[in-house]
Structure 1
């Protein structure tokens, strides 16, 4: 299995112990986790982007440019989901998991569902997931 990079919208300060941010478009930081042969090989953090109109699509380009091939998110709108699909980035649903490390392990073990339109947020408001 080749190395791949997973991105997770996270609470500060980011890293494996950080909680997953429920709102992809408003996250403070992205935790990037490099995985190879079912093991974590490296961890890096990137600052979140300011969220403006169409801001979630900027994040798609931002993460694609950092070599991300998988996104694990708690909440995500329909437009960024479509953007990730078009960019060839697989999106998985990580809602309810304790932290970044738990989400990555669940993905490695094939336990996370693909993020589909039925899971998307409708933007604009603060709501529970």
Structure 2
């Protein structure tokens, strides 16, 4: 399995479409992280770029994200990528928590009236 995480300075970026890069983790059968690589974020908004297809071609099946709009969620889902929203914190800590079953999707999207290149979700001390 491969997990993608929108990243900024080794932290989950709060907005999928404007991250610095994506961290892609390869996970083994025993839920251990085998390797990590980064891919640059494409120009433009995430939902309007080719990132979903690129991640799918890399074998990514899960995205651990901060916030994103419904358009991005729809595109990622159409590329067979399960999206877990509401994540925050260090990339490796979030991935480990996900693999240990401690993270669930927040169910919260950024709405168009909130979309000013920043989303202000209700992130508590929990990573998701």
Same-fold call, TM > 0.5? Answer: yes
Aligned equivalents of 2:7, 2:46: Cα separation in 1:
21
Q: CA deviation at 1:95?
A: 2.4
Please tell me whether residue 55 in structure 1 is matched to residue 48 in structure 2: yes
Do 2:5 and 2:65's aligned partners in 1 also have CA atoms closer than 8 Å?
yes
Q: CA deviation at 1:52?
A: 4.5
Please tell me whether residue 77 in structure 1 is matched to residue 62 in structure 2: no
Q: CA deviation at 1:43?
A: 0.4
Aligned equivalents of 1:52, 1:34: Cα separation in 2:
25
Q: TM-score, normalised on structure 1?
A: 0.81
Structure 2 residue runs without a partner (length 5+): 122-128
Q: CA deviation at 1:88?
A: 1.5
Q: In the comparison of the two structures, how many residue pairs are matched?
A: 117
Structure 1 residue runs without a partner (length 5+): 13-17
Q: CA RMSD of the aligned region, Å? A: 1.8
Aligned equivalents of 1:112, 1:94: Cα separation in 2:
9
Identify the match of residue 82 of structure 2 among 75, 80, 90. Answer: 90
Q: CA deviation at 1:45?
A: 0.3
